[in-house]
């Protein structure tokens, strides 16, 4: 059977295969954070024509079902189909905002005075061709020439295997590419190579996977792609996934899920730019400690059990062939080092992206993802804690939540008189969902307008025309749309409350631990997938961020991929990452105690102790 | 369908599968140098009962066919069968003679004063278990302990992957096994490991593959197994195989053929001793340069074309996982270094097995296999040449030829009066065929008795009762047997003549090249798969060996596997092998010229120039 898309592309689908499976098999990538189990509801498509059956509709509304919307993973063709993939279900490739912001990265690298020194180094060799009087073997010929340069390399079987033909193909004038840390010869290419070489920087988040394609000659970000981490089918947080790996014997499921995600991002991005996989010369991976252990296929069980031990925090440079990533097998893969079981390479990346480790000022770094990690310190010392925030700010577990890509509502105002909303949408396109910064905006506005009470409960009486009873209880309509309203439900608000409370509790405890008060912090760096910006005032208003002057806050975006980018391009940055990782002191909150108390106190708007939020107190009407 | 063997063992066979394939699938190994193409005639079995069909009978005699003998690779069951596998068709495992001779190897190793220092070194680590105050990662814990010993190792992904569970399983008291040359960590085992560790020494010959299972604690050879190199299906000599690899795109066929042979030897030998593949801790491979390139999967094309260049002569220690050998993937595999395209690691092995490189006396080393390689020199210099002898001395291309294993006729006398034969058989068992030393004996005796003339042609008139017209022309019955006579045919004799002529031509040319005469040679070491011994007098008589006093000759057996054995057990021997390989000067006969003249002159019994063989001249009756 045939599926024709509205853009004219055609694929086939066979009996018994879900549309999601058929798409994937033929390189039509759509989002599905549950990996095709029918639970996340992200793989919505619209069937325009043809016969089909659906195993389930998940949480699709009657309205959506009537409009031909189905879940691709639950739908089976009974004949030829015409299908439309809505923008919000598409894998995000070529996000304009992310690409435009990536220009800052080139600046950041420059500000370090770091020269471009990738994982792969090249040296040019002009070898005398063999003769009957100089008939040493190819490998000995190569080594003889290298001896002059003082290089003593290791040679893999694959290298030698390709070398025989490469030397002759390139007429004995070659560039030898090698990996300096592991002293390993990687490849031969012509002495005057054609075409640009690229690198890939990847942030493996618990909820999302973000990939930058980088031009290794000048460091500019060529493209950006992101998707949900399909390990989500095995659980929303790292603990559930560790349990799945340990008790369910599912370590390899998890490993494969994330490498498949990375491959699903690489394939379209290479296609889009007309590149071959062989043009990718190196990869850097950044992520939290559990994500990294899972990526490499290491048993993560002992991360979960006291005294919380990962297999490794610092990783040798290994090879793509050992990862399942479908690029040249010999391609080196560097892992940004981790600090401890709950503070990973994503945080080390964050620190080098903020440069706080080089400044004498006391800075606070907060990375708000599915886990919230917080670092305090300066160029002399750094302390760090971690807490579990949940995936809601990344769009997961929120009815109309989405990543901060085109179509996401990132800003919301509620008119104090009419209680009507006005919104701003990333890419100024049709609104498709709400991203993290939109959620914070929405909750703070609803709280200010009395639509939510201090406990985060909808107040029907004061809620105005946009509050209504929905399928999941009370909900607030952020945006009316003929194709389906975008709402925030009571359940959504509860998830957001828990996330913000966890973050604030973590910060409070860390400051107590080091004996600092909030006013002693000179800079606060916020990282996370919030999109264009995070409205600090609003984040303070809901009690997520501490109540200190706004000008001390700096919103950094995804610093995990930024750190991966820096390490991809510069040896100095890799050394700096290793240094930062070894210098950070990790405080295990679970053994310190007190986290639950702090968390419960923060489960209010803004906080049970309003005195911690004097500026918020001033803004609140007497109620 | 079911096949029952005379020893009671049962296997199944499915429709359309040859008996050979069914045997192999169920680990019943039989010899087949052509790899199941029906051409070598080695896989004879006797069908005692049941219905079957044969696609071809190859060169089986009427007599054999009538006795129920078929070729397993050409036979298909039509129902249940009862089958007998004759001894001569069995893969040779546990050859008593080879094992008994291997005792000399322990002596040889001892004579070098080389202590046992395998490819794998162990160090014992007693790690403090992690606590909440000492919660570094497992890998960092291991490294911290190793730092004290000054060891700086590389860690593969596989190592780290297994480390997590191993450390806990062995309660933090472990032996770390590592490979010193590559500084790579290989495995963890309990600090007091149970069970012996074994190593494997392999000689990959053009015609045969020989494998020694060695106890790594004391160096004794536990068992020996050998088979034909099934690359033979692609050609008898290295050149034909290179052509197949290059033009036929068959490099991977050849690589797989020989790794399959090695696996076919490992499986039964491990079974016989109740060992697990994981108990094999290291492997050493020795063979001629082409065999080694093919084993590692390197394009051998340029070995064949002037200026004759292999990919490599000296090889890093790589891993079993890169070879296809089915033992622990991390097991290090060392390759005895080669000298040039036509003088390989088998010859370097030979030199260290003879110790000629340590003696001031001028010695000659001759390895007579499918290729004949000759080395002359002493502790100061060594020169070497190679020539192609053909596989006949290893039993291939000779009607009743076989390897020098149990059942091979290794000695033949022909009564001068009656022209009746008396034979000696390896293992004193029923004669099954003729091995290389038997062939030399037979030709020399037939020549002495006038059954063969100087050109190696049968003289029917003087041939006596044992000469007869056979299926391939005239033949001489070496042994009468109700189950099938053992004969030497005119074609066989021509093959033997060509082989001996090539060897003698090579030696003559090498001596000319270095300006030596035969009487200046103080020791001659002969290597090759001749079995128990080589009758030097007879070899001189047919003009294969130079006519110098017999007491200067020393028969060494398979020195290629002996060298592999030495390198398996001792770092000193590996270093010595590398040194010998780099010190040998290779002379390329093909560019020197003169070989064809020498060869044609030697294509007589003993030689066209009888003056080179004064003792032979004295023995010959006036004819």
All structural domains of chain A? 2-90 (3.10.20.30), 98-110+198-335 (3.30.420.480), 120-190 (3.10.20.880), 356-387+496-616 (3.30.420), 392-490 (no CATH)
Percent helix, strand and coil across chain A, each to the nearest 5: 35, 25, 40
Q: What mean pLDDT is reported for chain A?
A: 91
User: Using a CB-CB distance cutoff of 8 angstroms, which residues of chain B are in contact with residue A137?
Assistant: 309-314, 338
Residue B318 parent element (H or E): strand B318-319
Query: What's the average model confidence in pLDDT over A243-251?
Result: 89
pLDDT of residue B60: 83
Say how far apart CA B266 and CA B263 lie, in whole Å: 5
pLDDT of residue B67: 83
* pLDDT at A61 exceeding the cut of 90: no
Q: Which of A214-218, A233-237, A457-461 is predicted least confidently?
A: A233-237
Q: Tell me B128's DSSP state.
A: P
User: Using a CB-CB distance cutoff of 8 angstroms, which residues of chain B are in contact with residue A314?
Assistant: 137, 139-140
Residue A163 parent element (H or E): helix A157-169
A297 vs B136: CB contact, 8 Å cut-off?
no
Q: Residue B351, exposed/middle/buried by CB under 10 A (0-12, 13-18, 19+)?
A: buried
Residue A230's nearest CA partner among A214, A250, A212 is A250
**Is A163 part of the contact surface with chain B (CB cutoff 8 Å)?**
yes
CB B324, CB B259: distance < 8 Å: yes
B298 vs A134, A164, A308: nearest CB? A164
B160 vs A130: CB contact, 8 Å cut-off?
no
| Residues B525-538: b if buried by 16+ CB within 10 A, e if exposed | bbbbbbbbebbbeb
**Token output for A531:** 């999109």
Q: What string of H, E and C letters represents the secondary structure of B345-380?
A: HHHHHHHHHHCHHHCCCCEEEEEECCEEEEEEECCC
CB A135, CB B309: distance < 8 Å: yes
**Is B160 part of the contact surface with chain A (CB cutoff 8 Å)?**
yes
* pLDDT at B623 exceeding the cut of 60: no
Say how far apart CA A581 and CA A563 lie, in whole Å: 12
Q: What mean pLDDT is reported for chain B?
A: 91
Say how far apart CA B235 and CA B245 lie, in whole Å: 11
**How far is the alpha carbon of B339 from chain A, nearest alpha carbon, in Å?**
9
**Token output for A437:** 């910064």
* pLDDT at A554 exceeding the cut of 80: yes
pLDDT of residue B415: 94
Q: How confident is the model at residue A346 (pLDDT cuts 50, 70, 90)?
A: very high
A472 or B140: which leads in pLDDT: B140
The nearest alpha carbon in chain A to B322 belongs to: A157
CB A507, CB A546: distance < 8 Å: yes
pLDDT of residue A623: 53
B137 vs A310: CB contact, 8 Å cut-off?
yes
Report the half-sphere exposure of A548 (CA within 13 A, side-chain side): 18
Considering all CA atoms of chain B, what is the largest pairwise distance in Å, rounded to the nearest integer?
98
pLDDT of residue B533: 77
Highest mean pLDDT among A240-244, B168-172, B529-533, B617-621: B168-172
pLDDT of residue A286: 98
Q: Is B620 helix (H, G, I), strand (E, B) or coil?
A: coil
Q: How confident is the model at residue B199 (pLDDT cuts 50, 70, 90)?
A: very high
B309 vs A131: CB contact, 8 Å cut-off?
no
Cα–Cα distances in angstroms (integers) from residue A131 to residues A74, A128, B38, B308, in the given order: 66, 9, 42, 9
Say how far apart CA B446 and CA B516 lie, in whole Å: 33
Q: Which of A31-45, A174-188, A439-453, A579-593 is predicted least confidently?
A: A31-45
Provide the 10 A C-beta neighbour count for residue A198.
23
Query: What's the average model confidence in pLDDT over A176-194?
Result: 92
- The percentage of residues in chain B with a pLDDT greater than 70, rounded to a whole number, is 98
The tokens 């460091």 sit on which residue? Answer: A219
pLDDT of residue A353: 96
**How far is the alpha carbon of A302 from chain B, nearest alpha carbon, in Å?**
9
* pLDDT at A147 exceeding the cut of 80: yes
Q: Residue A195: left (phi > 0), alpha (psi -120 to 50), or beta? A: left
Query: What's the average model confidence in pLDDT over B195-214?
Result: 94
pLDDT of residue A531: 63
The tokens 């190579």 sit on which residue? Answer: A193
pLDDT of residue B61: 81
* Bond preceding residue A606 cis, omega within 30 of 0: yes
DSSP track, B227-264? EE-GGGGG-SSHHHHHHHHHTS--HHHHHHHHHHHHHH
Give B420-454 pLDDT, tens digit per residue. Answer: 999 999 877 788 899 999 999 999 999 999 999 99
Q: What are phi and psi of B554, to 5 degrees?
A: -135, 120
Residue A539's nearest CA partner among A445, A603, A610 is A445
Window 582-601 of A, Cβ < 8 Å to B: 588, 591
Give A508-543 pLDDT, tens digit per residue. Answer: 999 999 999 999 999 999 998 776 678 999 999 999
The tokens 């109309």 sit on which residue? Answer: A400
pLDDT of residue A520: 95
Say how far apart CA B458 and CA B360 lie, in whole Å: 45
- The percentage of residues in chain A with a pLDDT greater than 70, rounded to a whole number, is 98
- Which residues are within 8 A (CB) of B302 and not within 5 positions of it... i.e. 6 or more apart? A138, A164, A168, B308, B309, B310
Residue B323's nearest CA partner among B279, B277, B259 is B259
Q: How confident is the model at residue B622 (pLDDT cuts 50, 70, 90)?
A: low
* pLDDT at B101 exceeding the cut of 80: no
Give A98-138 pLDDT, tens digit per residue. Answer: 777 788 899 999 999 999 999 999 999 999 999 999 999 99
Residue A402's nearest CA partner among A392, A389, A412, A414 is A392
**Token output for B187:** 């495995």
B311 vs A139, A297, A299: nearest CB? A139
Give A68-80 pLDDT, tens digit per residue. Answer: 899 999 999 999 9
Q: Is B451 helix (H, G, I), strand (E, B) or coil?
A: coil
* pLDDT at B377 exceeding the cut of 80: yes
CB A539, CB A495: distance < 8 Å: no
pLDDT of residue B388: 87
**Token output for B420:** 């009746």
**How far is the alpha carbon of B299 from chain A, nearest alpha carbon, in Å?**
7
pLDDT of residue A423: 96
A140 vs B312: CB contact, 8 Å cut-off?
yes
* pLDDT at B35 exceeding the cut of 70: no
Q: Is A456 helix (H, G, I), strand (E, B) or coil?
A: coil
Give A371-421 pLDDT, tens digit per residue. Answer: 899 999 999 999 999 998 888 998 888 999 988 877 899 999 999 999 999
Q: How many helices (H) and strands (E) does chain B have?
A: 19, 30
The residues facing B371 across adjacent strands are B388
**Token output for B298:** 């390197």
Say how far apart CA B607 and CA B544 lie, in whole Å: 9
B298 vs A161: CB contact, 8 Å cut-off?
yes
A433-434/A408-414 β-pairing = parallel
Q: A-B interface: how many C-beta pairs under 8 angstroms?
A: 124
Say how far apart CA B559 and CA B201 lie, in whole Å: 12
Query: What's the average model confidence in pLDDT over A591-600?
Result: 88
**Token output for B137:** 């990662």
B81-84/B44-49 β-pairing = antiparallel
A235 or B289: which leads in pLDDT: B289
pLDDT of residue A33: 67
A132 vs B306: CB contact, 8 Å cut-off?
yes
A371-377/A382-388 β-pairing = antiparallel
CB B283, CB B332: distance < 8 Å: yes
């Amino acid at each position: 059977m045939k599926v024709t898309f509205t853009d004219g592309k055609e694929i086939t689908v066979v009996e018994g295969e879900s549309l999601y499976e058929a798409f994937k098999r033929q390189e039509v990538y759509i989002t599905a954070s549950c990996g095709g189990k029918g639970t996340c509801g992200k793989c919505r498509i619209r069937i325009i024509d043809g016969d089909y059956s659906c195993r389930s509709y998940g949480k699709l509304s009657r309205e959506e079902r009537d409009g031909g919307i189905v879940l691709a993973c639950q739908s089976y063709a009974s004949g030829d189909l015409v299908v439309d993939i809505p923008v919000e279900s598409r894998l995000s490739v070529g996000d304009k905002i992310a690409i435009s912001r990536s220009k800052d990265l080139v600046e950041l690298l420059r500000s370090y005075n770091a020269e471009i020194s990738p994982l792969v180094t090249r040296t040019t060799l002009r070898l005398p061709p063999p003769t009957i009087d100089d008939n040493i073997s190819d490998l000995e010929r190569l080594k003889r020439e290298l001896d002059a340069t003082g290089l003593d390399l290791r040679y893999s079987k694959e290298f030698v295997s390709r070398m025989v033909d490469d030397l002759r193909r390139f007429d004995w004038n070659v560039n030898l590419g090698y990996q300096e840390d592991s002293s390993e010869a990687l490849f031969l290419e012509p002495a005057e190579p054609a075409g640009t070489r690229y690198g890939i920087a990847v942030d493996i988040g618990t909820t999302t996977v973000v990939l930058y394609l980088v031009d290794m000659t000048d460091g500019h970000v060529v493209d950006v792609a992101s998707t949900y981490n399909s390990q989500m089918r095995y659980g929303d947080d790292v603990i559930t996934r560790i349990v799945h790996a340990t008790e369910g014997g599912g370590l390899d499921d998890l490993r494969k899920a994330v490498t498949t995600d990375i491959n699903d991002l690489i394939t379209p991005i290479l296609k889009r730019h007309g590149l071959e996989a062989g043009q990718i010369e190196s990869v850097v991976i950044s992520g939290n400690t559990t994500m990294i252990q899972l990526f490499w296929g290491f048993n993560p069980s002992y991360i979960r059990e006291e005294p919380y031990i990962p297999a490794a925090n610092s990783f040798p440079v290994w090879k793509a062939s050992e990862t399942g990533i479908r690029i040249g097998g010999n391609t080196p893969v560097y892992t940004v080092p981790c600090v401890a079981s709950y503070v990973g390479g994503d945080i080390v990346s964050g620190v080098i992206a903020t440069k706080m480790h080089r400044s004498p000022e006391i800075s606070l770094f907060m990375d708000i993802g599915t886990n919230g990690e917080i670092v305090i310190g300066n160029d002399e010392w750094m302390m760090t804690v971690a807490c579990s925030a949940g995936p809601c700010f990344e769009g997961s577990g929120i009815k109309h939540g989405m990543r901060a890509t085109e179509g996401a509502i990132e800003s919301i105002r509620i008119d104090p008189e009419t209680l009507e909303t006005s919104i701003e949408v990333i890419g100024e396109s049709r609104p498709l969902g709400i991203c993290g910064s939109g959620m914070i905006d929405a909750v703070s506005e609803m709280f200010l307008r009395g639509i939510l009470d201090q406990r985060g409960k909808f107040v029907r009486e004061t809620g105005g025309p946009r509050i209504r009873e929905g399928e999941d209880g009370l909900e607030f309509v952020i945006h009316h749309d003929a194709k389906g309203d975008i709402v925030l439900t009571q359940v959504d608000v509860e998830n957001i409350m828990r996330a913000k409370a966890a973050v604030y509790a973590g910060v409070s405890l860390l400051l107590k631990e080091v004996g600092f008060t909030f006013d002693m912090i000179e800079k606060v760096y916020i990282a996370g997938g919030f999109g264009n910006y995070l409205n600090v005032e609003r984040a303070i208003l809901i009690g997520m961020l501490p109540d200190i002057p706004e000008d001390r806050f700096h919103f950094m975006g995804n610093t995990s991929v930024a750190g991966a980018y820096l390490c991809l391009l510069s040896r100095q940055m890799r050394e700096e990452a290793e240094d930062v990782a070894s210098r950070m002191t990790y405080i295990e909150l679970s053994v310190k105690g007190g986290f639950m108390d702090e968390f419960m106190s923060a489960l209010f708007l803004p906080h049970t102790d309003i005195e911690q939020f004097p500026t918020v107190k001033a803004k609140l009407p007497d109620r």
